[in-house]
């Protein structure tokens, strides 16, 4: 849902005027200003949510049994006795330096935790992205080329199922069938625990690390584990990408140059792949990039089911454990990623889209 909204915003910039440098400078300034305002708003929102949470961070540190004196002491220590605006100010200043405080549940700085868990999610999302794009784009093109035929309908239903199924439910079903039943894929978790300490992390992406180390046995293990969660995540991304591709292609088909090309006797395949497709490439890059954001959301539930030690699971655990610093840090990071992706797409769009040049 969110990813398509972002795509919508990128698409709404299609009509940007042709480049004139003075205007560019002004626009860049305006964009920077608006991003800054958004980030400040983001900070305010996370702070506000954090204060609203009926979770007691003091209790989370001290334990259920703590005495009232110890409790009061900790309130002061955490700065929770200061006026709200002061707390907010501290929060903003610290956050801008990527200091989100110490996680109550891991005892480490939240930033360190996020850096530790992020590669797991990145690897999962990337594999999912490759699968989703590899399937989604061809399916979308095929559907568009065969518009309103049974092929179109089949692609439509197949991809809409990807939109419609509760992702955690697919995960559980997948594990039951492919791991427990058929034994085709590896179990929950990212890597066999016994391998984990044989592997020196270089990139944090285990597929690459194991390949670099030449440990193909580890590579096989990691691969067998990532296949299922990535496929399930990819399903949603594939649905989105194929729907968007279809829509972009249909738009191209209605353009005059295609009609003209057809009149000149270009073959169907030629028309689709050498004429129409290159023209939607820029739009597609945007869609694919924004799908990453979509995957981040899917990761929250998928990682819970697959015991995947990534960002999504870190966030849900923190939420359930009243780990306020971690919750706020994570939401903020997600927000920043969204804003950055959105901004990058915007810039990319303006720079490369043939129609805006």
Among positions 212-241, residues that touch other proteins (CB under 8 A) are 216-221, 223-224, 227
What is the per-residue burial (b if ≥16 Cβ within 10 Å, else e) of 238-275?
Answer: bbbbbbbbbebbeebbeeeebeebeeeeeeeeebbeeb
What's the min distance (Å) between Cβ of 82 and other proteins? 18
CA separation for the pair 346, 342 (Å, rounded):
6
Question: Within positions 60 to 119, which residues make up the interface with other proteins, using CB under 8 A?
Answer: 60-71, 73, 103-108, 113, 116
Distance linking the first and last C-alpha atoms of the chain: 29
Stretch 132-151: interaction string toward other proteins, x if CB under 8 A = ----------------x---
| Per-residue interface string for the shown chain with other proteins, residues 284-323, x marking contact by CB under 8 A | ---------xx-xx--xx--xxxx-x---xxxxx-xxxx-
Residue 348 CB contacts under 8 Å (≥ 6 apart), including other chains: 282, 285, 286, 289
Nearest to 136 by CA among 65, 59, 233: 233
User: For other proteins, how many residues bind (rule: CB under 8 A)?
Assistant: 116
260 to 289, contacts with other proteins by CB under 8 A?
none
Q: Which is nearer to other proteins, 163 or 273 (CB)?
A: 163
Nearest distance, CB of residue 99 and other proteins, angstroms: 16
* Binding-site member from 38, 87, 111, 126 for other proteins (CB under 8 A): 38
Candidate list 80, 92, 111, 188; residue touching other proteins; CB under 8 A: 188
Q: Which of 14, 20, 28, 41 binds other proteins (CB under 8 A)?
A: 41
Residue 160 binds to other proteins (criterion: CB under 8 A): yes
Distance, in Å, from the CA atom of 29 to the CA atom of 103, rounded to the nearest integer, reads 36
Q: Other C-beta atoms within 10 Å of 220: how many?
A: 12
Pick between residue 32 and residue 267 the one whose CB is nearest to other proteins: 32
**Does residue number 344 form part of the binding site for other proteins (CB under 8 A)?**
no
Q: At what angle do helices 110-145 and 277-305 cross, to 10 degrees?
A: 130
Residue 166 CB partners (closer than 8 Å, separation 6+): 301
Give CA separation, 239 vs 246, 260, 267, 326, in Å: 11, 31, 28, 32
Strand partners, 109: 102
CA distances from 110 to 57, 98, 103, 114, 326 (A): 15, 9, 5, 6, 6
For other proteins, which residue of 229, 234, 243, 353 counts as binding (CB under 8 A)?
Answer: 243
Provide the token pair at 13: 């910039």
Tell me the window of 8-16, 79-87, 268-276, 277-285 that interacts with other proteins (CB under 8 A): 8-16
| b/e 17-33 (16+ beta carbons within 10 angstroms → b) | eeeeeeeeeeeeeeeee
* The one among 91, 100, 179, 206 contacting other proteins by CB under 8 A: 179
User: Of residues 22, 83, 194, 268, which one binds other proteins by CB under 8 A?
Assistant: 194
Listed ranges 18-26, 54-62, 93-101, 261-269: which one lies at the site for other proteins (CB under 8 A): 54-62
Choice from 121, 133, 286, 331 touching other proteins (CB under 8 A): 331
Q: How far is the CB of 217 from other proteins (least distance, A)?
A: 4
DSSP helix/strand/coil, 109 = strand
Region binding other proteins by CB under 8 A among candidate stretches 80-88, 91-99, 187-195, 263-271: 187-195
């Amino acid at each position: 849902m969110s990813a398509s909204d972002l795509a919508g915003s990128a698409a709404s910039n299609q009509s940007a005027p042709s480049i004139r440098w003075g205007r560019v400078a002004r626009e860049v300034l305006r964009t920077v200003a608006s991003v800054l305002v958004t980030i400040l708003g983001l900070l305010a929102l996370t702070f506000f949510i954090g204060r609203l949470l009926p979770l007691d961070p003091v209790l989370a540190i001290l334990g259920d049994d703590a005495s009232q004196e110890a409790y009061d002491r900790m309130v002061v220590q955490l700065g929770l006795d200061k006026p709200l605006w002061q707390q907010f100010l501290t929060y903003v200043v610290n956050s801008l330096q990527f200091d989100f405080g110490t996680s109550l549940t891991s005892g480490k700085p939240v930033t360190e935790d996020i850096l530790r868990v992020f590669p797991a999610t990145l690897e999962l999302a990337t594999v999912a992205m490759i699968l989703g794009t590899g399937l989604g784009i061809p399916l979308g093109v095929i559907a568009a080329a065969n518009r309103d035929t049974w092929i179109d309908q089949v692609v439509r239903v197949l991809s809409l199922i990807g939109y419609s199924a509760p992702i955690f439910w697919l995960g559980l079903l997948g594990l039951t069938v492919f791991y427990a039943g058929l034994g085709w894929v590896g179990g929950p978790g990212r890597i066999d625990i016994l391998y984990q300490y044989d592997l020196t992390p270089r990139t944090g992406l285990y597929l690459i690390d194991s390949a670099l180390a030449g440990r193909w046995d580890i590579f096989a293990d990691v691969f067998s584990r990532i296949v299922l969660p990535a496929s399930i995540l990819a399903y949603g991304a594939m649905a989105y990408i194929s729907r968007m591709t279809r829509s972009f292609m249909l738009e191209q088909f209605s353009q005059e140059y295609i009609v003209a090309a057809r009149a000149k006797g270009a073959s169907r395949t030629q028309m689709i792949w050498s004429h129409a497709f290159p023209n939607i490439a820029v739009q597609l890059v945007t869609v694919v990039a924004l799908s990453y954001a979509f995957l981040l959301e899917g990761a929250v539930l998928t990682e819970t089911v697959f015991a995947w030690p990534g960002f999504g699971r870190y966030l849900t655990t923190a939420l359930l454990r009243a780990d306020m610093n971690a919750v706020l840090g994570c939401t903020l990071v997600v927000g920043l990623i969204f804003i950055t992706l959105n901004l990058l797409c915007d810039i990319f769009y303006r720079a490369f889209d043939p129609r805006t040049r």
